[in-house]
Structure 1
Amino acid sequence: MAATQQRPATAPVLTAIRPAGDRAILVELSSLDAVLSLQAQLMAHPRPGQIDVIAAAGTVLITADSPHALQELAEHVRGLDLDAPAEADSTLVTIEVVYDGDDLDEAAALTGLGREGVVAAHTGQLWTAAFAGFAPGFAYLTGENSTLDVPRRRSPRTAVPAGAVALGGQYSAIYPRQSPGGWQLIGRTDAALWDLERENPALIRPGDTVRFAAVRAQATVRRHTETAASAEAHEEHASAGLAVRKPGLQATIQDLGRPGYAALGVSSSGAMDRGALRRANRLVGNPEDAAGIETLFGGLELEALTDQVLAVTGASAPLEVTSSNDAQTTAAVRHPACDAPFALLAGERLTVGAPTAGLRCYLAVRGGVAGPAALGSRSTDTMSGIGPEPLTAGTILPVHAAKPGSIVGNPEISPLPDQGHATVLRVVPGPRQDWFNAETLKSFLSQEWTVTPKSNRIGLRLDGQGLTRSKEGELASEGTVRGAVQVPPEGQPVLFLSDHPVTGGYPVIAVVVHADLDKAAQLPPGATVRFTAASPADQPDTPKESFHA
């Protein structure tokens, strides 16, 4: 009897599912087609608890609102047919480009095509927006051929102008706003890549096709500014409530952020210490997601234009209320407590002093701070520039009327890290712990890290005994999450926080569990941190290193 001929096994499309903290998974796939198929299926038919789907060259990062939802998402992904082509709405976008970029000659030499050949190759093929990232409106475009595959610059520019058309590796892209960047600049355009006045703010969305057209006219970048009429339309149900007399070091409007837009390159942003903002809102009778003020190191001074009810939570800071009809004389002074509601009557001023513990204070006003929303949130995103500008002296803050039946809350306890000892943050290893050997992983978990003054809303920069990678080369950019501990080549970790970039190219050794992120928001420069592996109960119910298909 003849032996049965066996067909060669095909390589699996889904190669691994790796935990990325307790609220996200990183799905590794064998091709860009599979990446786009998974992204398209999840975006077309979102699962319960699904928040963001971030596609990259060979991975898809999926975030959920709970560990249970994450487990169900992982099981759902395993059952999908990822050989099926992506079915998504696609629009042809034509971009007019003046080809006079600073790196056009370099690209011409690297490809051997000459200047005219680079332009011909760039305009002569159709490009597809594979995925977004880096910044709102920034789309990674893949071409029909590899003739323009050029390396990134050896030394990135500190500022690439808005509208710059660039090449990087196998991709082309357009910088929507001025930002650092290491791609080869070949031209410029005045196309508005990101405009919040449009129904879809991003001009180029994943799945769209792009054709570049060479023009000789002078290109200028148009910047969107909100008109007075559109701003006033947002304020019709609010009245002037507070005036900023002194903003302190950094005061911004924050709510619980704008999740769900990471696929467009927009991070969720929002309050760094979300628990503190929720408490402040409960104390004054607001919904927990109402907008308030986040202030750093105190120094904020506000004057009530009409009678208000306020609460301050987060860092432990002295509060002082002065009543004066004259700038030179003070009629009365009182000192409200943090974590309890208090009245600020018209003409009175509140000063938030320097914290004695913690770093960031949160001020809620009964009714909530009003103002125009961007993508459903009033949060200031310091990285992308979305949302209101940081507060300055003279800023007038409109306040919504309190909802009928809302009740002012009772005082609450505000837990803060003990700055006399290292703050312990629980982490889920990975998703890229395989870029480090066992000794490096042990060093990461055993030592104390110091928060440096370079920290901000994007992340905590930590200093300690540097971590050494066990792999050569660079990791392709992939989605990142709040709480990710990324390790640059220098070996000093960065813990991503509210305004972190949507994608990153450095390996993530571990991710802080969701419940511990508010602690990180209250760590001042000089504070120390120790990471510890989360218990099995705090980790997602998926294999702890990776699931291999």
Structure 2
Amino acid sequence: MSRFGETALLVDLPDLAAVRAVHRALLADVPPGVVDVVPAARTVLVRCAAPGDVRRALAWARDAVRRAGDDDAPPAGTLVEIPVRYDGQDLDDVARWAGTSTEEVVARHAGREYEAAFGGFAPGFVYLSGVDPRIAAPRLETPRTRVPGGSVALAGDLTAVYPRESPGGWRLLGRTGAPMFDVDRDPPALVAPGARVRFVPVREVVAARASAAGARAAGPSASPAPRAATRAGDGRGVEVVATGPLLLVEDAGRTGLAAVGVGPSGAADRASHALAARVVGNAPDAAALEVTLGGAALRFHGEALVALTGAAVPASVDGRPVGMNAPVRVPDGALLRLGTPARGLRTYVGVRGGLVVEPVLGSRSRDVLGGIGPEPLRPGDVLAVGTPPAGSWPLTEVVPVPHVPGEARPGERAAGVLEVLPGPRADWFLPGAWHALRALRTVTADSDRVALRLDGQAVPRRAGELPSEGLVRGAVQVPPDGRPVVFLADRPVTGGYPVIGVLREADVDRAAQLRPGDRVVLRLARGAGLGDAVGG
């Protein structure tokens, strides 16, 4: 068992059976401060709300591991039957690999019961263990850029259903019409870790059913993500006139669903989002606007109190310049315009009372990887403004900010010098890995809310793939090409490449403000000795 950054623990276990036993033991008595428990192939990730919660969770997790050792007869999970039309484009290739007929591949795939092991890279994607070794063909050497939603696939000893269209490298055997994930269903995932799954061959693609105890049909397909809410009953609202490159509604994020592939999401720069709420007197989890690279224009219906935080932008209300990190009164009918920041990437617009948007799975945040939450805003959308919180009022004219997001601090040689705590996978890295990691790097153009991708000197590591395990915000993962990836708000919940380190929480906010072309240095965190760092 080891620390995984400042707010998580990673429990290493010998096999999937031990993972399931420990996961059950942990879920039986979750203490306050633990926000997610994420099973994976050989680990369980325990994610906490704050660093102080990790210390308390450590004894609880150790006790769960001890109790799991006595779990000799795990309860049988719910049986879910998934109808499959076996017409996948890789069916013949799997048959050739196995040296048998396609009919035999279908019979072996559908002729057994699988255990839902852990959630994957997308909501509703759950890895199912128990593939017949005779047909356990490896994943494709070159992944497809597009796998249709509903595809039933396998890769080695695992099989799964792609809940929606996405890239993927698994072998496609067929397709199903089963709604694997539906935000309007409770629970939203058709298959959760611990469930039993059987595939049923059919002539046509039809909906799935849960067969245990005559359970009801799986329910409707996932509803489209809601667009903006209408303005409030008293007429107060924010009309989107222009969006800039990307305009999203974000709050503090969602918790408790990582086991079925739903990540926390939330504001990319948590500190700037929280500051916007504090300046206007909102609760910390109030929904606000996240503006990427400026360019937004917002018309206010009804008088409002707003705050701009994060990347500093030139801003005006009806042509009158307004400042950052301070309460700004916006008259009824006035237009707030945001220019382009000279440095930094994301600016937050907090409105007193918060933005009223229909929550999706407990949050009003847009998760760009999972496709969950309100759609990106478009011109013409109108967001309602909520009722201001009682007894709370801004107490300052301007909040001092020690360092402007996106700008280098005094003495730094790059836009971002980010402190990294040693990660849990030292044995996956070769000598010199830490020295290579701290070389000067450049943020690449394919960075987004999911991850910051960095060019520069390759970090030497072992070949191969790590069995998938949970990921945390700020995890620095190293794929086979050696170029580090720093995961941000909309990261996948599990990943199969080793993590060399984890950014400090405050430095993840700094990472979220870096833009393509910025130079960055990953540096061993103060207080973490080189003897603790991977790779020496």
1:364-443 equivalence runs, <5 A: 364-410=350-396, 411-414=398-401, 415-416=403-404, 417-419=406-408, 421-422=413-414, 423-443=416-436
Taking a change above 3 Å as real, the CA distance of residues 153 and 427 of structure 1, as seen in their structure-2 partners, is same
Matched residue, 2:61: 77
1:295-314 equivalence runs, <5 A: 295-314=291-310
Taking a change above 3 Å as real, the CA distance of residues 263 and 453 of structure 1, as seen in their structure-2 partners, is same
Output one character per residue of 1:392-440: Cα deviation in whole Å (capped at 9) or x when no partner.
1111111112123221341212332433732221111121232222312
Higher mean C-alpha displacement, 217-226 vs 379-388:
217-226
Contact 1:40 1:88 in 2 (8 A): no
Whole-angstrom distance in 1 between the partners of 2:130 and 2:427: 31
Paired amino acid for 1:518:
D
Following TM superposition, by how much is the alpha carbon of 1:441 offset from its aligned partner in structure 2, in angstroms? 1.5
Following TM superposition, by how much is the alpha carbon of 1:145 offset from its aligned partner in structure 2, in angstroms? 4.4
Taking a change above 3 Å as real, the CA distance of residues 19 and 190 of structure 1, as seen in their structure-2 partners, is same
1:114-513 equivalence runs, <5 A: 114-143=101-130, 145-218=132-205, 223-225=221-223, 239-322=235-318, 333-410=319-396, 411-414=398-401, 415-416=403-404, 417-419=406-408, 421-422=413-414, 423-445=416-438, 447-469=439-461, 471-513=462-504
Whole-angstrom distance in 2 between the partners of 1:71 and 1:41: 19
Paired amino acid for 1:500:
R
Secondary structure class of the residue paired with 2:248: strand
Taking a change above 3 Å as real, the CA distance of residues 544 and 43 of structure 1, as seen in their structure-2 partners, is farther
Whole-angstrom distance in 1 between the partners of 2:354 and 2:33: 27
> Structure 2-normalised TM-score?
0.90
Which of 36, 50, 61 aligns to 1:52? It is 36
Whole-angstrom distance in 1 between the partners of 2:224 and 2:524: 47
Secondary structure class of the residue paired with 1:81: helix
Output one character per residue of 1:172-214: Cα deviation in whole Å (capped at 9) or x when no partner.
1000010111111001000101011111000001111111111
Q: Which runs of 5+ in 2 are unaligned?
A: 209-219
Matched residue, 2:214: none
Contact 1:38 1:86 in 2 (8 A): no
Following TM superposition, by how much is the alpha carbon of 1:142 offset from its aligned partner in structure 2, in angstroms? 1.4
Secondary structure class of the residue paired with 1:177: coil
Whole-angstrom distance in 1 between the partners of 2:225 and 2:381: 18
Following TM superposition, by how much is the alpha carbon of 1:220 offset from its aligned partner in structure 2, in angstroms? 8.6
Aligned length: 513
Whole-angstrom distance in 2 between the partners of 1:278 and 1:520: 16
Contact 1:433 1:441 in 2 (8 A): no
Output one character per residue of 1:270-325: Cα deviation in whole Å (capped at 9) or x when no partner.
10111111111111111111000001110000001222111111111111111xxx
Which of 27, 44, 67 aligns to 2:51? It is 67
Whole-angstrom distance in 2 between the partners of 1:224 and 1:206: 20
Whole-angstrom distance in 2 between the partners of 1:203 and 1:52: 19
Contact 1:237 1:400 in 2 (8 A): no
Taking a change above 3 Å as real, the CA distance of residues 86 and 199 of structure 1, as seen in their structure-2 partners, is farther
Taking a change above 3 Å as real, the CA distance of residues 68 and 288 of structure 1, as seen in their structure-2 partners, is closer
Paired amino acid for 2:500:
I
Higher mean C-alpha displacement, 189-198 vs 52-61:
52-61
Following TM superposition, by how much is the alpha carbon of 1:250 offset from its aligned partner in structure 2, in angstroms? 0.7
Secondary structure class of the residue paired with 2:322: coil
Higher mean C-alpha displacement, 53-62 vs 420-429:
420-429
Whole-angstrom distance in 2 between the partners of 1:92 and 1:173: 15
Contact 1:18 1:430 in 2 (8 A): no
Whole-angstrom distance in 2 between the partners of 1:238 and 1:483: 41
Matched residue, 1:113: 100
Taking a change above 3 Å as real, the CA distance of residues 302 and 88 of structure 1, as seen in their structure-2 partners, is farther
Whole-angstrom distance in 1 between the partners of 2:225 and 2:482: 46
Higher mean C-alpha displacement, 526-535 vs 192-201:
526-535
Paired amino acid for 2:238:
L
Contact 1:131 1:206 in 2 (8 A): yes
Matched residue, 1:325: none
Taking a change above 3 Å as real, the CA distance of residues 374 and 88 of structure 1, as seen in their structure-2 partners, is farther
Following TM superposition, by how much is the alpha carbon of 1:109 offset from its aligned partner in structure 2, in angstroms? 1.6
Contact 1:127 1:209 in 2 (8 A): yes
Following TM superposition, by how much is the alpha carbon of 1:235 offset from its aligned partner in structure 2, in angstroms? 8.0
Contact 1:18 1:545 in 2 (8 A): no
Contact 2:300 2:333 in 1 (8 A): yes
Paired amino acid for 1:507:
P
Following TM superposition, by how much is the alpha carbon of 1:358 offset from its aligned partner in structure 2, in angstroms? 1.9
Taking a change above 3 Å as real, the CA distance of residues 475 and 366 of structure 1, as seen in their structure-2 partners, is same
Taking a change above 3 Å as real, the CA distance of residues 227 and 453 of structure 1, as seen in their structure-2 partners, is closer
Whole-angstrom distance in 1 between the partners of 2:87 and 2:158: 19
Following TM superposition, by how much is the alpha carbon of 1:346 offset from its aligned partner in structure 2, in angstroms? 1.9
Contact 1:22 1:538 in 2 (8 A): no
Q: Which runs of 5+ in 1 are unaligned?
A: 1-16, 323-332
Q: Which has the larger radius of gyration?
A: 1
Following TM superposition, by how much is the alpha carbon of 1:443 offset from its aligned partner in structure 2, in angstroms? 1.9
> Structure 1-normalised TM-score?
0.88
Taking a change above 3 Å as real, the CA distance of residues 167 and 235 of structure 1, as seen in their structure-2 partners, is farther
Paired amino acid for 1:224:
A
Matched residue, 1:91: 78
Contact 1:93 1:204 in 2 (8 A): yes
Secondary structure class of the residue paired with 2:135: coil
Paired amino acid for 2:13:
L
Contact 2:83 2:205 in 1 (8 A): no
Matched residue, 1:5: none
Matched residue, 1:9: none
Following TM superposition, by how much is the alpha carbon of 1:224 offset from its aligned partner in structure 2, in angstroms? 2.8
